[in-house]
Amino acid sequence: MFRIAPSLLSADFARLGEEVRDVIAGGADLMHFDVMDNHYVPNLTVGPLVCEAIRPHCSVPIDVHLMVKPVDRIIPDFAKAGASIISFHPEASEHVDRTLGLIRESGCKAGLVFNPATPLAWLDHVMDKVDLILIMSVNPGFGGQSFITSALAKVAEARRRIEASGRDIWLEVDGGVKADNIAAIAKAGADTFVAGSAVFGEKDRGGAIRRMREALARA
Ligand code: DX5
Ligand code: ZN
């Protein structure tokens, strides 16, 4: 069971509602929503107000990827704005266990995000509180970067940890995912794939998603 999550970061922000409906009609399973604060990452995007604005156009779960520091204060706002999943970077939280708890108490699934240089050891004592592990295959902040291949070994290690936990934890990969590398990422153990430029950069978004599914079916 594979999930494709187009990232709105590469959408046309002047017509976001239409863009959301377009990729959902094209087969998106989740809507990946990148939140950047020009502090934790060197770029600035959108917040809860825009999440709330797209919600009526969005019939799939909204997968909020927080690249903000601090994290905790903004969590209830995204829960109210319609987020289903909220993920954050452990380096951006003073108290990772508490932040995971806050997300779940707000009624959302909780995800932990790993930058290319961030060790999976952050999972050691919180595996029971995590619903999703997001492995970054680029440094966060921008769309359209190339896939960092060392992420594959990390995905495989995360998969081993999930198997050992016996829990149903989603394993998502974000950054540089395309139809020509998605099969290798799936083979490493991922089940959920974020794709920004590879989907929104194509005129036919449904076609782009279909090519990814075909590559996954061959994996
Ligand atoms: C990067 C974001 C990604 C980004 C991926 O910081 O977290 O979600 O949109 O874009 P592509 O798929 O173009 O690498
Ligand atoms: Zn993202």
The CATH code of the domain that includes 161 is: 3.20.20.70
- 146-189 pLDDT per residue, tens: 999 999 999 999 999 999 999 999 999 999 999 999 999 999 99
- 73-83 pLDDT per residue, tens: 999 999 999 99
As for how many domains the chain has, the answer is 1
pLDDT tier, 219 (very low <50, low <70, confident <90, very high otherwise): confident
Mutate to test the pocket of ligand 1, among 44, 138, 185 (most ligand atoms within 8 A of CB): 138
The pLDDT score that the predictor gives to residue 126 is 98
Distance of alpha carbon 178 from the chain centroid: 15
Range of the domain at 83: 3-217
- For residue 36, the ligand 1 atom closest to its alpha carbon is 6
- Measured from the CB, is residue 215 less than 6 Å from ligand 1? no
- For residue 141, the ligand 1 atom closest to its alpha carbon is 6
pLDDT tier, 16 (very low <50, low <70, confident <90, very high otherwise): very high
Catalytic residues: 34, 174
pTM for the whole structure: 0.98
- 197-208 pLDDT per residue, tens: 999 999 999 999
- Measured from the CB, is residue 141 less than 6 Å from ligand 1? yes
Mutate to test the pocket of ligand 1, among 8, 9, 132 (most ligand atoms within 8 A of CB): 9
- 99-137 pLDDT per residue, tens: 999 999 999 999 999 999 999 999 999 999 999 999 999
